[in-house]
A = this chain, B = another copy of it.
Amino acid sequence: MRARYPHRMRILVARCTVDYSGRLVAHLPQAVRVIMVKGDGSVLIHSEAGSYKPLNWMSPPCTIRVVSAPAGDVAEEGGDDLVETWTVEAKSGDRLVISVHEVIHDATHDLGVDPGLVKDGVESHLQRLLAEQVAVLGDGWTLVRREYPTAIGPVDLLCRDATGRSVAVEIKRRGEIDGVEQLTRYLELLNRDPLLAPVDGIFAAQEIKPQARVLAEDRGIRCVVLDYEALKGTDDPGLRLF
């Protein structure tokens, strides 16, 4: 059974020091920061700059233990004003210790369950659209199947060209070297299958980096730049099952 957490979000602005130990060891000197405690128990420590990644954090599930500083106790760093110490710990042993020296703001809000994010334009959409329109790769081409399984993972599309020759297609939003390597591994494996071989390769992406293109073409892999909007425009929603 999954633990039920109260639907609450606590936002604390405080002068603090932070120590993380786990996959690495890190220390944050004393400064004013924002500490968010989410309803699921996770903790985020943000400064005023930097993008969305916190300076330190603890992912759920984890436990928070708060110990008030005894009157007159002296903190290890920054003098004599320690208010309380939070110990946030995961099962893995990862630990975050927050020493709070001054609370500037403290509020808790009930946000409720978030209905979540609706996305459009990710790789799976490209794959679905191209699967429905394999003819954009060549006249008379047909789809054998999406997510064609191999021992080392599924190939995005397996097609046949007008002459019946097999073609494996790897689809990326942004085509980089990794994707070419991935397709190369699939091709090597597929070409060992006498029922399929010879198998050609197509590297299809909305954007193909020059080095990826060079590597692909050097290996005889055709590169195709996909136009998502055009694919979406041609796409007939009536033909879709869902």
Contacts and interface: CB of A to CB of B under 8 A. Distances in A.
Interface string A54-74: 111101100000000000000
A230 interface: no
A61 to B, nearest CB: 10
Interface string A95-132: 00000000011010111111111111110000000000
A55 B117 CA distance: 7
A28 interface: yes
Interface in A175-195: 178, 181, 185
B152 A211 contact: yes
A34 B30 CA distance: 25
A142 to B, nearest CB: 29
B121 A31 contact: no
Most chain B CB within 10 A, of A32, A211, A215, is at A32
A42 interface: yes
Interface stretch (A8-16, A79-87, A233-241): A8-16
Interface in A18-36: 23-34, 36
A120 B25 contact: yes
Contact of A36 (B34, B114, B117): B34
Contact-size category for A: 35 or more
A7 interface: yes
A1 interface: no
A52 B48 contact: no
A150 to B, nearest CB: 12
Contact of A114 (B49, B57, B110, B115): B49
A44 interface: yes
B117 A109 contact: no
Interface in A151-205: 152, 173, 178, 181, 185
Contacts of A53: 52
Given A24-B119, A42-B52, 18 more contacts: A23-B121, A25-B121, A26-B119, A27-B118, A28-B116, A28-B117, A28-B118, A29-B118, A33-B111, A38-B48, A42-B50, A48-B111, A48-B112, A51-B57, A52-B57, A56-B117, A105-B107, A152-B211
14 contacts: A9-B46, A9-B48, A11-B34, A13-B111, A24-B122, A31-B114, A31-B115, A32-B109, A33-B111, A48-B111, A48-B113, A49-B113, A104-B109, A178-B178
